[in-house]
Every structure is written in C-alpha cells, then in structure tokens.
Amino acid sequence: MTQTIERRLAELGVTLPKAAAPAANYVPYVQTGNQLFISGQLPMGPDGLAHKGKIGEDASLEDGVAAAKLCAINILAQAKVATGDLEKVARLVKIVGFVNSTSDFTDQPKVINGASDFLGEAMGEKGKHARSAVSAASLPFGATVEIEAIFELA
C-alpha cells in the first residue's frame, strides 16, 4: 500500500499550520480544471515571518534553505485547504522560488533545494517537480524566500 502524504508528514514530525491569509488583493489559490495554483508563500511560522533578510548580506545559505522548507510546508497547508485532502493531489508539477539575495550571490538553486528536498520527502513520487530558482532584489516584508506552486489534482 502506498504511504499517504499525511502519514509521511507525521513521520517527518511536521504538522501543517493554519494556511496563511492573503496579505494583499489576491486569493491564496486558484483551481482551474485539474490544476491547482498556489500563490507565493512566505516562510511564516507560528509567530509570524520566521526568516527575514538578504542572503549574502544578513542571512546565510542555511537560513535560506530553512526558509524554503517552511515555504514548502505552507504550500502544502494551502493545498490541503484547497482540496480538503492532500490525497487528491496527483502530483506537484512545478515550484517557482524567489530568493532575496545580493547581486553576487549565485546559489539560488541550493536555497530552493530546501523546498524541493522537503516536498520530495513528504510527497514521494508525487513530489518530483520542475522548478525555477531566481534572485530577487527584495521580497514582501523583507522575507528571505517566497515560493509558489502548481499541482495536478486527481
């Protein structure tokens, strides 16, 4: 029997948080046909924004990796709200990661690996995805990372 995403999350010691409300004039997700688009998620923790700063200036690569993982957890929280059950997710199609970094920092892919690695662990084969990892001069609220996602639904 295939292991469920919820069971994998439990084994990883991860409890999905309450999905974040939009911070501006947009919706947190849109479903069209069998595709689910999750708006960009910040590294929000129980006490608010957990990772602030510019990588290469006042935040490290390791800070960025941790921020990306937290963004991925928040993506799954939004997907659960959208679907009611993560088992309705057929697969993760793509993530796009934005990294608040200095102009000479070039390890954006290593930062976004924090999300990719976690999503692969949590979702198994369903978590294999295409992706982009790009630098940003700044992100909302000074966040270190922001990540959006596209899922295919069963």
> What residue ranges do the domains of the chain occupy?
29-153
Give yes or no for residue 85 having a pLDDT over 60: yes
Tens-digit pLDDT profile for residues 31-61: 999 999 999 999 999 999 999 999 999 999 9
Domain with residues 29-153, CATH architecture = 2-Layer Sandwich (3.30)
Dihedral pair phi/psi, residue 95, rounded to 5°:
-120, 150
* CA proximity to 38, closest of 85, 111, 96: 96
Instruction: Please name the residue ranges forming H helices in the chain.
Output: 5-11, 61-83, 108-123
Residues in a beta bridge with 145: 99
Residue 1 has pLDDT above 60, yes or no: no
Per-residue model confidence (pLDDT) at position 2: 59
Contact (Cβ atoms closer than 8 angstroms) between residue 119 and residue 83: no
